[in-house]
Amino acid sequence: MKFLSNCAAENREGSGASAASSWHRKALAMGTAVLFAFSPMAPAWAAPAGAAALSATGAAAKLAVATPVLTATGGCQLNSPRGKVSHVVTIIFDNTHFMRDPARDGSTLVPSDLEQMPHLFNFIKQNGALLSNHHTPLIAHTSDDIITILTGVYPARHGVATAANSYLEYTATGPRSQSGFTYWTDLSLDSTYNLISGPVDTGHPNGVNAPAPWVPFTRAGCDVGAAAAADMEIENTGVDLSTVFGAGSPQTTDPNAFANYEGVAIHCAANSTLCSTANGGFPDKLPWEPNPDGSAATTDRATGTSSAYEEYNALFRPQICHPSVPESRAWQSSTGRQWKPEGHQRKHYR
């Protein structure tokens, strides 16, 4: 049984996350997002075709990006109306207001967040589409807001945190706090999926895992990258590592697991060489992913994934994901500063 937690102090990393970890995660998110957003990749999500979409949600500042890439098996087929779309980037800024907030007397003298960031505002308008009519679920929190944007459905249908970054579950030993920030297929404390869209029954002992937002794109031949996009990548060095790599795997005891696995992932199209086993790819397991027509599929007990989503791999190491941005690629910011990826080392950007 899941109950909301009235824990305003809990942050995106959930209870127990340190301030240092949070800072490093923000730095990683910003650096990787810049790399992905300007690389010659084709990203994916609910942004308008060919556009960069900015969306405002509610909590501390975050940034996320997702990217489809051309593959060796026929390419990323986005099927835009005129066939010209090759890049779609979604950038989500937490608590970034488009409209001015009215004062108690009704005046709106203080510029809005975006008015105070003209370079960002103009970049979005000139290079994409600004989503200014976005309405967050209430109560607005980072985890459920981002996942609502990525999936297009509210928490009642994707199940994450039921309108909070964490919630209380009543267990046999008393209430415990469960973070909304876990990997997509993690089980919560009561052994049901944290992202759940169907009930527990004899055929679904853990419930039905909510459909993953990257699947329509990987099925279309696109490799989908994510940086700090809630629950699309490894979010912690505990249960997430066991979920992705298996209990007792070397990754679960890696002393540098935070630096080696958190925050960045690429979910690849079937047979994509980018996520091959030789390149460090792991099976992208989604136990209850439905068929392309939306009908229910079954779980292949031999592989641990849906019968409708087999032979797909993913990368979960930032050191492997970053080299997918060509080293020869350089770009110039609006202030004139040049950026260029440097080798296979993971960088922090300020």
- Residues 14-28: tens digit of each pLDDT: 333 434 444 444 443
Q: Quote the pLDDT of residue 285.
A: 95
Count Cβ atoms below 10 Å from residue 101 Cβ, excluding itself: 9
Residue 348 included in any domain: no
pLDDT in tens, 82-103: 887 877 788 888 878 888 888 8
d(CA 201, CA 309): 22
Instruction: Confirm whether 344 is domain-assigned.
Output: no
Q: What mean pLDDT comes out for the span 286-312?
A: 92
Tokens of 247: 């209990």
Any domain includes 342: no
- Please report whether residue 12 resides in a domain: yes
Burial of 282 per CB tally in 10 Å (0-12, 13-18, 19+): middle
Give me the pLDDT at residue 89, please: 81
Cis peptide before 139 (omega within 30 of 0): yes
Range of weakest confidence among 3-17, 45-59, 314-328: 45-59
Mean pLDDT of the region 104-132: 87
pLDDT band at 11 (very low <50, low <70, confident <90, very high): very low
Q: Is the dihedral of CA 55, 335, 23, 264 positive or negative?
A: positive
Whether pLDDT at 121 is above 50: yes
Could you give the number of structural domains in the chain?
1
Tell me the per-residue pLDDT of 135-177, one tens digit each, with 9 for 90 and over. Answer: 777 777 888 888 888 888 888 888 876 557 888 888 788 888 8
Domain that holds residue 321: 2-334
Asked whether the beta carbons of 140 and 146 are under 8 A apart, the reply is no
Q: Does residue 67 fall inside a structural domain?
A: yes
Tell me which residue has tokens 């979604």.
90
Burial status of residue 219 (CB atoms within 10 A of its CB: 0-12, 13-18, 19 or more): middle
| DSSP element (H, E) containing 264 | strand 264-267
Residue 170 falls within a domain, yes or no? yes
The structure tokens listed for 248 are: 């007792």
Q: Residue 180: is its pLDDT beyond 70?
A: yes
Is the sign of the CA dihedral 31, 216, 235, 14 positive or negative?
Answer: positive
**More confident site: 37 or 129:** 129
Q: Domain for residue 318, yes or no?
A: yes
pLDDT at 71 over 90: no
Please tell me the pTM assigned to this model: 0.73
Residue 340 lies in a domain: no
pLDDT at 252 over 70: yes
Question: What's the count of helices (H) and strands (E) in the chain, helices before strands?
Answer: 8, 17
Give me the mean pLDDT over the 131-136 stretch.
Answer: 74
Question: What sections of the chain are H helices per DSSP?
Answer: 19-38, 118-127, 142-151, 155-158, 215-219, 239-245, 257-261, 318-321
